[in-house]
Amino acid sequence: MNAITFDRTKARFPIAEVVTSFIDGEGVPADNRGERLPAVCPATEDTISFLREADKDEVDLAVKAARRAFDQGPWPRMSTDERKRIMAQIKQVLTENLDEIAYLETLNAGITHTHTRGFHGPRMAWNFEFFAEVASQAAGQAYQQTKPYLSVVTREPIGVGALIGPWNAPIALCTMKIASCIAFGNTCVLKPSEFTPLSLRRVVELIHKTDIPKGVVNLVNGRGHVTGDALVSHPGVDVVSFTGGTTTGRAIASRAGQGLKPVALELGGKSANIITATANLDRALDGALLGIYSNNGQQCLAGSRILVDRKIANEFIEKFVARSRNITVGDPLDPKTQVGPLAYEAHMKRVLGFVDIAKQEGDELLVGGKRHDGFKKGYFVEPTAVMAKNNDTRICQEEIFGPFAAFLTYDDIDEAIAIANQSEFGLVGYVWSDHLPTAMKVSQQVRAGTIWVNTPLTRELRAPFGGYKASGIGRDSAEDCMMFFTEAKTTTIPLQEFPMAKWGV
């Protein structure tokens, strides 16, 4: 049996003993105010740090700092090129410290180091370059059709953004929020997940090693119902950008609605991965495994319902099961590891609870289905696949958010599309087929924000990403983020004198 150990004295990088907020350019002291919550390493179950929760008063300080930086500070008033220069510095400082940030992320979130160092980390740094470039290329509009007027439309920063993120890809997702918010001249307060505070605290500290004015990027740490709710409800917040679960999204949208604050919601998914008989089945198999098991199975865009054409189902599923058994589960810091631990204990229990639910509902367990017994400690779950009785079962209708695939079979592509659409979610869809009309039919008829044809998980930052139905409201992309984080202003000027009524003459 494997014992993965954590020894603070041998840590590759220093780990803060207490993680606090970062407000107005300064780290908040680790005093005795507020709750202290453990930050746990899911591979060893050790408490590696404590999070000092920001209460309502501390959230108020953070929003006021962001407000001041927006209402009076230089950031919204400086030229776009100057902001771009500072965002390039941010990219550089994050890139220089990628090893440390990726290490902290892996330690606290359990995402493999291969993934945090090779994918989430570079994406984090690139977010700043990308959105600075978007802002610097943005143009307004001009209308001249109504003579003799010229109407010009300019876009102005919307104000203070409340940015709330999940634990499954903290650095990649939260920095996209920060970068897309500040690039257009806004200021922000970020609230990461209370389960994974370590990496983002360091990221925000590093952002302040650049010329960024104080108060532009603030951070508060704490639980959703305490710190998050205080942030969303704060009257000084102008706009709310949220990524997380659908139930939380509903609560946040109604809270933000009371203040008439625009919200962008990137929520859960239960996406169909349609494997047709016309696919390159070797590639479809590779893609299906990556689609459900990468990022330890904790991804909104997972292909978690795998729909296989009945003609090829036995062979495909047999191979999938054999490959699942062979996946290397283990220490997320080990470069050989493919699947690491789930992020925290209650989440692991919830994921394993779906094995019991599946058994009760008459689904057939194909592989996995239990806590991995190769480790003394850690929230390791075996890569799991279940043949679902039908699409009405809970394992097909609820987001499990773990290494847990639900298989279904179908007889023709219309049936596959109907099954794909019989879901409250609509985040993404996958289809594997070398027959173009079939792939296009799926692309056109599956009601989801993104369809991947013959590829798993390819994120194009320029193109809209977001969900239909209960998977969200709004989209992330260059243009969508600009629209969301700016207000449009129309200015109308007559180009020549025109007759005007002379009242009261």
Known catalytic residue: 497?
A: no
CA distances from 96 to 85, 102, 173, 275, 405 (A): 17, 12, 19, 41, 37
- Our finding on whether 58 is near ligand NAD (CB under 6 A) is no
Q: Are 432 and 280 in contact, with CB atoms under 8 Å apart? A: yes
Residue with tokens 């940015």: 163
Known catalytic residue: 266?
A: yes
Q: Are 158 and 485 in contact, with CB atoms under 8 Å apart? A: yes
Rounded distance between C-alpha atoms, residue 290 and residue 287, angstroms: 5
Candidates 188-196, 366-374, 386-394, 435-443; binding stretch for ligand NAD (CB under 6 A): 188-196
Strand order in the sheet with 486-494: 141-143, 149-157, 486-494
HEC profile of 293-316: HHHHHCCCCCCCEEEEEHHHHHHH
Candidates 64-72, 209-217, 261-269, 450-458; binding stretch for ligand NAD (CB under 6 A): 261-269
Whole-number minimum distance, CB 248 to ligand NAD, in Å? Answer: 3
Candidates 41-49, 56-64, 166-174, 332-340; binding stretch for ligand NAD (CB under 6 A): 166-174
Whole-number minimum distance, CB 260 to ligand NAD, in Å? Answer: 17
Q: Are 209 and 237 in contact, with CB atoms under 8 Å apart? A: no
As separate numbers, helices (DSSP H) first and strands (DSSP E) second, the chain gives: 16, 23
Q: Which is nearer to ligand NAD, 73 or 170 (CB)?
A: 170
Whole-number minimum distance, CB 51 to ligand NAD, in Å? Answer: 11
Annotated catalytic residue, options 174, 188, 300, 481: 300
Whole-number minimum distance, CB 162 to ligand NAD, in Å? Answer: 8
- Our finding on whether 85 is near ligand NAD (CB under 6 A) is no
Candidates 53-61, 223-231, 350-358, 493-501; binding stretch for ligand NAD (CB under 6 A): 223-231
- Binding residue (CB under 6 A) for ligand NAD from 116, 180, 241, 243: 243
- Binding residue (CB under 6 A) for ligand NAD from 103, 119, 131, 167: 167
- Our finding on whether 241 is near ligand NAD (CB under 6 A) is no
Rounded distance between C-alpha atoms, residue 421 and residue 199, angstroms: 37
Element (H, E) at 396: helix 394-397
Q: Are 142 and 154 in contact, with CB atoms under 8 Å apart? A: no
Parallel/antiparallel/unpaired status of strands 149-157 and 486-494: antiparallel
Whole-number minimum distance, CB 87 to ligand NAD, in Å? Answer: 22
Residue with tokens 């290397």: 328
DSSP string, 424-454: SEESEEEEE-S-HHHHHHHHHHS-SSEEEES
Amino acid identity for residue 480 in this structure: D
- Our finding on whether 53 is near ligand NAD (CB under 6 A) is no
Candidates 21-29, 260-268, 415-423, 440-448; binding stretch for ligand NAD (CB under 6 A): 260-268
Whole-number minimum distance, CB 104 to ligand NAD, in Å? Answer: 17
Amino acid identity for residue 425 in this structure: F
Whole-number minimum distance, CB 449 to ligand NAD, in Å? Answer: 9
- Our finding on whether 416 is near ligand NAD (CB under 6 A) is no
- Our finding on whether 459 is near ligand NAD (CB under 6 A) is no
What is the DSSP code (8-state) at residue 295? G
- Binding residue (CB under 6 A) for ligand NAD from 76, 159, 185, 224: 224
Q: Which is nearer to ligand NAD, 319 or 350 (CB)?
A: 350
- Our finding on whether 105 is near ligand NAD (CB under 6 A) is no
Annotated catalytic residue, options 58, 105, 266, 399: 266
Q: Is the dihedral of CA 358, 359, 365, 370 positive or negative?
A: positive
Q: Binding to ligand NAD (CB under 6 A): which residues in 274-333?
A: 300
- Our finding on whether 252 is near ligand NAD (CB under 6 A) is yes
Q: Which is nearer to ligand NAD, 50 or 75 (CB)?
A: 50
- Our finding on whether 429 is near ligand NAD (CB under 6 A) is no
Parallel/antiparallel/unpaired status of strands 364-367 and 384-387: antiparallel
Q: Which is nearer to ligand NAD, 110 or 224 (CB)?
A: 224
Q: Are 152 and 180 in contact, with CB atoms under 8 Å apart? A: no
x/- letters, 338..357, toward ligand NAD (CB under 6 A): --------------------
- Binding residue (CB under 6 A) for ligand NAD from 49, 168, 304, 337: 168
Q: Which residues are within 8 A (CB) of 65 and not within 5 positions of it... i.e. 6 or more apart?
A: 23, 24, 214, 215, 218
Angle at 345 between CA 341 and CA 346, to 5 degrees: 130
Nearest to 210, CA basis, from 42, 83, 366, 114: 83
CB atoms within 10 A of CB 458: 8
Residue ranges that bind ligand NAD, judged by CB under 6 A: 164-168, 173, 191, 193-194, 223-225, 228-229, 232, 243-245, 248, 251-252, 266-269, 300, 399, 401, 427, 467, 472
Active site residues: 266, 300
